[in-house]
Structure 1
Amino acid sequence: MNRDTGFPRADAEADFLRARRRQVLSRLAKWLRGEPDDVNIMLPFKEVVDALGYVSERRIGTRVITLDSIVGSVDRGRDFDRRFRPTSGRVRERWERLALAARRGESIPPIQVYRIGDLHFIIDGHHRVSVAHAMGVPTIEADVVEVRTKLDPSGIRYRGDLIVKDYRRLFLERVPLTGQSRASVVFSDAWDYSRLGEHVEAWGFRLMQDEGVFSDRATIAKRWYEEEYEPVVAMMRQADLIGDRTEAEAYLWVACERYRLIRTHRWDDEVIEAVRSRKR
Structure 2
Amino acid sequence: MSEQMTSAQTEDDFTKARHKALFNEVQHFLNPDEATLISFSDIKKLIRPKNEVYMGMQTVPVNLIVGSEGRYQDFDNRFFPKSMHLKSRWEHIDMAHLQDISLPSISLYELGGVYFVRDGNHRVSVARSRGVEFIDAEVVSLQSEIKLHPGDSLQKMTKQVIEYEKRVFYGETGFGDVTDFWCLDFSVPGQYDVIYNHILTHKYYINMNKTEEIGMDKAMMSWFTSVYTPVIKTIENHKIMRSFRNRTKSDLYVWMIKYWDEIKLKFGEDYPIEDMANSFMNKFAARSSFRSFFWRLRNEIEGRLLRKKQHLRDK
**Structure 1 residue 40, shift from structure 2 partner:** 1.4
Q: Residues 55 and 109 from structure 1, CA distance in 2 versus in 1: closer, same or farther, beyond 3 angstroms?
A: same
Q: Residues 186 and 20 from structure 1, CA distance in 2 versus in 1: closer, same or farther, beyond 3 angstroms?
A: farther
Q: Secondary structure at the match of 2:79?
A: coil
* Aligned with residue 114 of structure 2, among 113, 119, 140: 119
Report what 2:229 is aligned to: 256
State percent identity of aligned pairs.
22
Match for 1:143: what amino acid? E
Mind listing any 5+ residue stretches in structure 2 that lack a counterpart?
Answer: 177-181, 235-315
Q: Residues 201 and 138 from structure 1, CA distance in 2 versus in 1: closer, same or farther, beyond 3 angstroms?
A: same
Q: How many residues get paired?
A: 221
What RMSD in Å do the two structures reach over aligned CA positions? 4.2
The answer as to 2:133 corresponding to 1:141 is: no
Q: More helix by proportion, 1 or 2?
A: 2
Contact 1:114 1:144 in 2 (8 A): yes
Q: Residues 258 and 160 from structure 1, CA distance in 2 versus in 1: closer, same or farther, beyond 3 angstroms?
A: closer
Alpha-carbon distance in 2 for matches of 1:127, 1:24: 17
**Structure 1 residue 202, shift from structure 2 partner:** 5.8
Alpha-carbon distance in 2 for matches of 1:179, 1:140: 43
Match for 1:28: what amino acid? V
Q: Residues 181 and 75 from structure 1, CA distance in 2 versus in 1: closer, same or farther, beyond 3 angstroms?
A: farther
Alpha-carbon distance in 2 for matches of 1:105, 1:186: 56
TM-score by length of 1: 0.63
Report what 2:207 is aligned to: 208
Mind listing any 5+ residue stretches in structure 1 that lack a counterpart?
Answer: 1-5, 229-250, 262-280
Contact 2:62 2:133 in 1 (8 A): yes
Report what 1:237 is aligned to: none
**Structure 1 residue 209, shift from structure 2 partner:** 5.2
Alpha-carbon distance in 2 for matches of 1:145, 1:158: 22
Q: What are the within-5 Å matches in structure 2 for residues 65-144 of structure 1?
A: 65-144=60-139
Alpha-carbon distance in 1 for matches of 2:140, 2:56: 7
**Structure 1 residues 47-100: Cα deviation after superposition (integer angstroms, max 9, x where no partner):** 211221232112111111111211111111121111111111101011111101
**Structure 1 residue 214, shift from structure 2 partner:** 6.2
**Structure 1 residue 260, shift from structure 2 partner:** 3.8
Alpha-carbon distance in 1 for matches of 2:97, 2:67: 23
